[in-house]
Amino acid sequence: MKQYSPTHRFYSFKDDFREPFARDRDRIIHCSSFRRLEYKTQVFLNIEGDYFRTRLTHSIEVSQIARAIAKHCDLCEDLAEAIALAHDLGHSPFGHSGGDELDRILKESGFKNGFEHNFQSFRVISELEKRYKDFNGLNLTFATLEGVLKHSTPYKKPFFSKNLNDAFSIELSPMLEAMVVDLSDEIAYISHDIDDGIKHKLIEFEMLEENEIVRLLFENIAKEGIDRRDKIFKYRFVSSLICLLIEDVIKNYKTNKEIKYSPNIANSLSKLKQLLFKNLYRHEEIKRKMSFGKLCIRSLFDDFMNDRGLLPRELKDKIDAGFKHHRIVSDYIASMTDRFAIKLYKELHIG
């Protein structure tokens, strides 16, 4: 597939002192959906404690990694940062489990398109956020919209309209900055899920030691004179893992002009993800919390479908105007934070 970077597409805006992609970044940071990421689950529920990552801290970490890679690959840092900060705006409460439940509910209700958080992120910035009188969305550049829409594979989704497919050339691979964000997302969540999992005592380093990358980092940290029992060992491991993966992407791009890992790193990283899936993401404690999250979402969905009087007035007006009831309810639930969804569920079902 063709790879390209649209960083030549800079437009001059007479009344704005910023470059277009810097303006995009600022509009994303100041929108309501971005602020709500503070109370949306990454892996651990937000109510578990102040230490653990949320969608907000994750998005900031992804943007930092994306800027670093973009800079050293001579790509547009501002564009990579804007895509990174917006890439998770469409996540529902309770992480991927919440999104999976919304998808299941919609499909059971006859909506074959269901719910997909990457496409929802695009809808947030192009439609659901309201900041202007005459049109919806954040008024972002085409490049940022395309980067959010196509930052993760597969780029062609079965529920994209023909107009959307045509407008964003879905048959082509995305711009290089979007590919950078895709890898930065992976680098951030793997390294920091390990950090949070160790902190929460759901996994131990010994569980991961069979992996080649992990063993290499253990050896490097030992050369610094740091023992595995030292408190700073975890921090050095996370930092070293991030640096190793960033450097590999940069080196591979400068050698092969492709935004991807080298074959050896890609293979080892895939195995590390399998270990995390087995030992962390499927841990019984995580699954119990996510099961409760699914219960909240399904119960709230039924409540709002059975009694539209429970919805905010502007959403009731949309339904009266002919917008699909199911999609309005789905968008509303997807916008909620974990703690708001839990609070609302308790008000309606526990009292």
Contact between 222 and 236 (Cβ < 8 Å): no
Q: What digits encode the pLDDT tens for the residues 293-320?
A: 999 999 999 999 999 999 999 999 999 9
Question: Where do the domains of the chain lie?
Answer: 203-282, 288-349
Angle between helices 55-72 and 176-199 (to 10 degrees): 130
The predicted structure's pLDDT at residue 306: 97
The predicted structure's pLDDT at residue 42: 80
- Segments in the chain below pLDDT 70: 1-15, 44-51, 351
Contact between 170 and 2 (Cβ < 8 Å): no
Q: Hey, which bits of the chain come out as E strands?
A: none
Contact between 307 and 299 (Cβ < 8 Å): no
Query: What backbone torsions phi and psi does residue 77 show, to the nearest 5 degrees?
Result: -65, -45
Closest to 186 in 3D by CA, of 252, 266, 117: 266
Angle between helices 325-335 and 95-108 (to 10 degrees): 170
The predicted structure's pLDDT at residue 249: 98
The predicted structure's pLDDT at residue 45: 59
Q: What is the DSSP letter of 350?
A: T
Other C-beta atoms lying within 10 Å of the C-beta of residue 178 = 28
Rounded (10°) CA dihedral 10, 13, 19, 23 = -120
Name residue 41's beta-bridge partners.
54
Q: What digits encode the pLDDT tens for the residues 10-48?
A: 444 456 788 999 999 999 999 999 999 999 988 765 555
Q: What is the DSSP letter of 312?
A: -
Other C-beta atoms lying within 10 Å of the C-beta of residue 117 = 22
